[in-house]
Amino acid sequence: MTTVLQIKSSLFGERGQSSQLADAFTAAYQAAHSGTRLIVRDLAASPVPHLTAEGFGGFGAEQQERTPAQRAAAELSDALIAEIRAADVVLIGLPMYNFGIPSALKAWFDHIARAGVTFRYTENGPAGLLTGKRVVVFATRGGVYAGTPHDTQTGYVRDILRFLGMTDVQFVYAEGLALGEASQRKALAEAGAAIARIAQAERLAA
């Protein structure tokens, strides 16, 4: 059985464009793979707190030595890591907010990047431990940035995923969503077509 983990990071929860694109992908994926298990982590509905020095310190501490705040941070981190470890396919909703990734998503990355757990340092440099996963990212933006130096998201998200061991990463973009109705319609139609293409390839491979 395939497990899909869907990360929602839109402020608007399931109404967010990035959430809706990921939902469309999930539906297509489930149609192609019977018995898919879906885990949804909605970072707007249940925000992951900012990582603090105390919480970070607790990640490396022995369980019995952790303060209550460290225990809470480590338990949340353990739960988030268990979800992504279990996933064969990871779907990430990636809205652009104020020229960057949503702070909720950054907080999630901060809680799943754990030395000795999801990556380790070797004599050849860091090695990611979350391997063998396929990732599809749904990037939604009011403006148009893909392929320009103003796209602060694609490089960062690819880098952190690679650092954690995920190298099979595809981006679906819907840009120009704030540039009028025609622009929005076109962007969503193109993103929908990209999702259908990927889903069709899945069906052929299944």
CA distances from 147 to 39, 105, 154, 170 (A): 31, 22, 9, 14
User: Smallest gap, in angstroms, from Cβ of residue 178 to ligand FMN?
Assistant: 5
Residues of span 128-147 touching ligand FMN by CB under 6 A: 140-143
Residue 26 touches ligand FMN, criterion: CB under 6 A? no
156 binds ligand FMN (CB under 6 A): no
Tokens 């929005």 found at? 184
Residue 42 found at the interface with ligand FMN (CB under 6 A): no
CA distance 114 to 60: 9
- Tell me how far apart the alpha carbons of residues 125 and 197 are, in angstroms, rounded to a whole number: 36
Binding mask 101-130 toward ligand FMN (x if CB under 6 A, else -) reads ------------------------------
Question: With binding defined as CB under 6 A, does residue 18 bind ligand FMN?
Answer: yes
Burial class (CB in 10 A: 0-12, 13-18, 19+), 185: exposed
**Among 6, 26, 95, 135, which residue sits at the site for ligand FMN (rule: CB under 6 A)?**
95
The helix (H) or strand (E) run that includes residue 10 is none
Tell whether residue 17 is a contact of ligand FMN (CB under 6 A).
Answer: yes
Binding residues for ligand FMN, rule: CB under 6 A, are 10-12, 16-19, 93, 95-99, 140-143, 177-178
